[in-house]
Amino acid sequence: MKITLLTLFLLVIYSNAFASLTIVQHTNNGFSLPVSTTWSLPITATGNGNLLVAGILSACSSQYATISSVSDGTNNFTQFPNAVGETLVSPTYYLSDVWYLPKSNSAKTTITVNLNTSGDISVEIWEISGFTNPIPDVAGVVNNGTDVANTDTGAAVITTSTTGFVVGENCTQYQVTANPAAGNEFTSGGDIDPNHNGFCSLISSTAASHQPTWTDSTNGSLFVSSTAAFKEGGATSSTIRGKSTIGGNSSIY
């Protein structure tokens, strides 16, 4: 009975440790002019141990433009798997990408993004508290998207957790006028950048399909979009009397 009660107690602590997510900040800056290979985004001083997500959009002359690195000055971000999209709006290639840092460092006020070629760039930073060990859940992209009835429809992702954070980003040929579109669930926090592209997010409480949409100024506008969802990967460790009782593996997702 003692073992059973102890196990239940630990499970309660384990589940409550990441039961509530909060967006601490969301900040945008871009597009950069003149074009550059480096873009630094000022942000509000970060807290310690929070998830940082960088939504990145770029317009370059090269089809093979990529984001080469993202950093807070101390730690490098990791590229989210399968979240890179590209669309040709002749003669320019539009790029969308998502990077993340699972555990923020305290008092960081600048995020730096490096491209492998010069181009315009826009960056949205989200800081999210409440995760114990955030890991990628699922991602999707829309390459060569075309607006239908003034709606840009991003990629749908089917999340696997009831506690998740999902971002959507949209680089359009014309202008996002509503971010997200009216009635869409991605209202947790986001911005329209100075070049009228949209970044939005969702704190998800359902393991289900989630799909961002945006209102566009022009029917038939071309766009590229990425959607990326995070979930809880589990506690890294909990130790009682020198013995590890709960384990997690952040490399499995």
Query: What span, in angstroms and rounded, lies between the C-alpha atoms of 229 and 93?
Result: 25
For the record, the structure tokens of 152 come out as 């840009």
Sign for the pseudo-dihedral over CA of 165, 17, 72, 25: positive
Query: What span, in angstroms and rounded, lies between the C-alpha atoms of 146 and 171?
Result: 11
For the record, the structure tokens of 127 come out as 């800081």
- Assess contact for 172 and 222: CB atoms under 8 A: yes
Can you give the pLDDT at residue 11? 41
The SS3 call for residue 11 is helix
Can you give the pLDDT at residue 80? 98
Residue 140: partners with Cβ closer than 8 Å, 6 or more residues away: 82, 83, 154, 155, 156, 157, 226, 227
Tell me the Cα Rg of the chain: 19
What are φ and ψ of residue 219, in 5° steps? -65, 130
- Closest by CA position to 125, among listed 60, 64, 50, 178: 50
Query: What span, in angstroms and rounded, lies between the C-alpha atoms of 168 and 184?
Result: 12
Can you give the pLDDT at residue 33? 63
- Assess contact for 104 and 38: CB atoms under 8 A: no
Q: Mark out the alpha helices in the chain (DSSP H runs).
A: 2-16
Can you give the pLDDT at residue 96? 97
- pLDDT tens digits in sequence order for the chain, 253 residues long: 444 544 443 444 444 444 599 999 999 987 766 678 888 999 999 999 999 999 999 998 888 789 999 999 999 999 999 999 999 999 999 999 999 999 999 999 999 999 998 888 999 999 999 999 999 999 999 999 999 999 999 999 999 999 999 999 999 999 999 999 999 999 999 999 999 999 999 999 999 999 999 999 999 999 999 999 999 997 644 332 333 323 333 333 3
Can you give the pLDDT at residue 19? 52
Query: What span, in angstroms and rounded, lies between the C-alpha atoms of 187 and 94?
Result: 24
Q: What is the per-residue burial (b if ≥16 Cβ within 10 Å, else e) of 199-214?
A: bbbbbbeeeeebbbbb
Q: What is the dihedral of CA 137, 201, 24, 68, to 10 degrees?
A: 60
Sign for the pseudo-dihedral over CA of 209, 79, 250, 110: negative
